[in-house]
Amino acid sequence: MNNFFLCFFLMINMFMIFFIMSMSMYFLDYSIMLEWMLMSLNSMNMELYMLIDWISLLFISLVTLISSMIMFYSSTYMNNDKFIKRFIYLMLLFILSMIMMIISPNIISILFGWDGLGLVSYCLIIYYQNYSSYNSGMVTVLCNRIGDVGVLMSIGLMMMKGSWNTSMISGVMYNNLFVMMLLLAAITKSAQIPFSYWLPMAMAAPTPVSALVHSSTLVTAGVYLMIRFEKFMGGCMSLMFFLSVLTMLMSGMMANFEFDLKKIIALSTLSQLGMMMMVLSLGYKMFAYYHLLTHAMFKSMLFMCAGIIIHSLNNNQDIRMIGNLNEIMPFTMMSFMVSSFALCGFPFMAGFYSKDLIMEIIYSNKVNIMMLVFIIMSLVFTVSYSIRLFYFIYFSEMKFKSSISLKEDYLMNFSMLILILMSIMMGSMMNWLFFFDFYLIYLNMKIKLITLFMCMLGVIMGMGMKNLKIIKFYHISYYLSSMWFLNQVYVWIFNPFNIMSDIFYKIDKSWIEFFEKDLKMLIKNLNFTLNFKIYMFGYFFIMIIILVYLLM
């Protein structure tokens, strides 16, 4: 527990330092570029760059604030865990990788943080070491490797431009292939369609990890990459807009049919990531960054509340089993309600300022009418699954265990206290900070009220979701709750690799076991059995074929 408190004090001090530096740089309009030459090859210089400006420092301060609260929270949540030191080291590595990625304008140094995020997230997802964690970890790491290939190919393409530092080259010089590779990297890390399936599966990690991953680190890395590279992305903005709107719609629809508490919150993260990518694809990168910061606060608190519920119910995550929790754990339920209201865009909460502004920007832009319908429908679904979750947690009956044994923990409650205040005040604070000279958006009264009416429709739909007749139709509900059969697609894609790996595993196993157990004895006795002759003949035959192929 002392290690957790040490990490908490370290992170909270880092938050204060970085926040003060960020505000100073913002008001002074000042930034610092650090350069470190690693090696020089012909005309290419391999340099490590660090860009320290108010955007990167504000994001780092937010990451460290949320990390400090999660470390404090984990001191109780992970108290009885056997490998507690491993958990702390992995969390610190994860935060360090994210900070490395945030301050890098150079695509080589971005790769260090990018790969660090992928590797450490895999280690955290398989932390509990069971079959479900293994499957989730493999799907996550294989999806993220596709994005890593995009980053590696963009490194190769940038060699033709003479520099890996993006800030030194104008956006006109980039070709469409480079832009597509960057987009591939961003949509895999931020889990846009068709790479959305790994995000709900990543819930196999401990809940404090989920709170960190889904608020400000791993899934936001792709959005942050697009914010940094926005000036190059002109050629693929329409594709990014289409994918992000479909992701919003699909995740909102799936969350209305899901019964796993953590998966519902994970799907809400996916929906908000789609919204960030959507407004980014329209060219408003500061709006995407603004929503990224506000979303991080209430989403981390939402996961913390879910963690307390799961922890109290002996790791049960089925929302059909729980209910009437507002009488048993009032502070947790109050926090849950505040964060859910912020997620829905309830007036004057943190999410309201960013979401309402984004919707008004969309109404004032020339957007395809079909895409606009999808965006408004996803807004309805967001309110709908939140109200449905309210119904199960607040108003249904407890079916799992006696309520007497449930209790709140003071340390966990304290860790959420600061995040509650930030979930209420963050939106207005950042709005005054970012857009103090931004004039109000004037819209027709009917258009202005669309968002409000759609939220009311979402409330009605959420209340009726429990008795919805469509749930009884198994095939329709399975289609809507399976990410539009994306899980089946992944089975088809990975199946050939599984078969190949199984074959290679059997071959390797036979060779290794044979050599380890029998080779010394065979050499000692000079009794070359038939098996050994067959193995050696096969080995030399393969080597001769490879040699002939190379000589040709």
pLDDT confidence of residue 313: 79
How many other CB atoms sit within 10 Å of the CB of residue 525?
9
pLDDT at 503: 63
* C-alpha closest to that of 277 among 241, 230, 233: 241
Looking at residue 1, its pLDDT comes to 60
Single-letter amino acid code for the residue at 39: M
Question: Which residues, at least 6 apart from 278, have a Cβ–Cβ distance to it below 8 Å?
Answer: 241, 244, 245, 248, 358, 362, 375
Identify the pLDDT of residue 35: 81
**What gap in Å lies between CA 155 and CA 235, rounded to an integer?**
19
pLDDT means per 10 residues in the chain (552 residues)? Answer: 79 87 88 81 74 88 89 83 84 88 83 86 86 82 84 82 65 66 86 82 83 82 84 77 88 84 87 89 87 89 87 79 80 88 86 86 85 88 87 77 65 84 85 75 81 83 66 66 72 68 59 52 49 50 56 50
519: which 2 tokens?
């080779």
Residue 528, pLDDT score: 45
Name the residue ranges covered by the structural domains of the chain. 109-481, 493-551
In angstroms, rounded to a whole number, what is the distance separating the alpha carbons of residues 168 and 469?
58
Contacts for 282 with CB less than 8 Å, ≥ 6 apart: 237, 241, 361, 362, 365, 367
The pTM for the full model equals 0.83
- In sequence order, what are the beta bridge partners of 44? 41
Q: Are 202 and 133 in contact (CB under 8 A)?
A: no
| 273 token code pair | 């990531």
Instruction: Tell me which residue has tokens 């290794």.
Output: 512
**CA–CA distance, 19 with 267 (Å, rounded to integer):** 30
Those residues whose C-beta lies under 8 Å from the C-beta of residue 451, and which sit 6 or more positions away, are 345, 356, 359, 360, 379
Contact between 252 and 378 (Cβ < 8 Å): yes
pLDDT score recorded for residue 45: 73
DSSP 106: B
Contact 188, 143 (CB under 8 A): yes
CA dist list (Å): 242 to 183, 246, 248? 13, 6, 10
Can you name the residues that pair with 34 across neighbouring β-strands? 50
Q: How far apart are CA 156 and CA 164, in angstroms?
A: 9
Name the residue with tokens 């955007």: 55
Letter string b/e over residues 378-400, b meaning 16 or more CB atoms within 10 A of that residue's CB: bbbbbbbbbbbbbbbbbebebee
pLDDT at 9: 85
- What is the Cα Rg of the chain in Å? 26
